[in-house]
Amino acid sequence: MEFLFQYKKKSGQQVKYFLKEQDISKGLLAKIKFQGGDIVVNGKRENVLYELVENDHVCVVIPDEKEHETLLVDDTPIDIVYEDDHLLVVNKPAKVASIPAQYHPNHTMANRVKGYYKRQNYKNQIVHVVTRLDRDTSGLMLFAKHGYAHAKLDKQLREKTLIKTYQALLSGEMANLKEHDRITLPIARDLPSILKRKVAEDGKFADTEYWVDEKTASLALVHIRLHTGRTHQIRVHFSAIGFPLVGDDLYGGQMDLPLKRQALHCCELSFIHPFTNEHLKFQQSLPKDMEVIQKIFAKR
């Protein structure tokens, strides 16, 4: 895959420093050098020490990525929301993990995306997961289709310009729930469990912002924006302030509604396209198993 740049500075700069400014890492430069890539300046092959001058044209050829053989193939179809040469946005169903782990080495979204790449015979076969969701959380997931796109999207995650918005159904005494607030409680592992998390003074900083959309005396539908990305952050934070998610048996949620998992859905992804600079926003309505939420509020 080729990427074209024009050097616009009046002072000179070595190729390696210019490419670093384009988010091409040392690791990616090594792949370009040793795995069949190339750097071409004004039509002539050059190395990373070449000194650029104003208006030089730089072409970077990034080698194709061969598959990770340890990642198994799952041919289950995926629900594609958006796709281009660099990005893939999919709608993840509940009860499907994002990536393989000890207890689910196959049938995850990563396995399914690999199956899709194989069927499409794409040149780049490595699956780059940019945003993950818990196994029982539904909604939008973002994949990068090559390592360079992954690096640029990770930068947006660090700079908080890639925004994930969730919808959740909370349980509790809703007279005590603020219409809008930020929960900034530190989160740590709840040992000896390898899965559960808890609010703890010695935990890592976590920041969750929410807005109430609708509520009854005992239930509330909220929109949530994460400002950090801790494991189980939404579930832990709302449980800690007395409003656990409906269907979340791990953190004390109400279990008598016809919903067999935590009522959490990633409904929106917003970010800047890493190569076109276009602002992209994708939205996904509630899945069928969460339509019970709409019925609850419609009966009020």
Q: Is 249 a catalytic residue?
A: no
What's the one-letter identity of residue 99? I
Helical spans, DSSP H, in the chain: 15-21, 26-34, 109-120, 147-159, 233-240, 291-298
**Location of structure tokens 């953190």:** 251
**Which one, of 276, 246, 299, lies nearest residue 3 by Cα?**
276
Q: Which residues of 241-253 are buried (b: 16+ CB within 10 A; e: fewer)?
A: bebbbbbbebbbb
Which residue in 74, 134, 136, 248 is the catalytic one? Answer: 134
Q: How buried is 259 (Cβ within 10 angstroms: 0-12 exposed, 13-18 middle, 19+ buried)?
A: buried
Handedness of CA 274, 278, 279, 280 (dihedral sign): negative
The 3-state DSSP class for residue 192 equals: coil
d(CA 23, CA 17) in angstroms, rounded, equals: 10
SS3 content of the chain, % helix, strand, coil (to 5): 20, 30, 45
Six-digit token pair at 250? 């791990």
The secondary structure of 73-89 as a DSSP string is P------EEEE-SSEEE
Q: How many residues does the chain have?
A: 300
The 3-state DSSP class for residue 56 equals: coil
The answer to whether 203 and 188 are in contact (CB under 8 A) is yes
**Location of structure tokens 């990563």:** 110
Six-digit token pair at 125? 């076969």
Residues with active-site annotation: 134
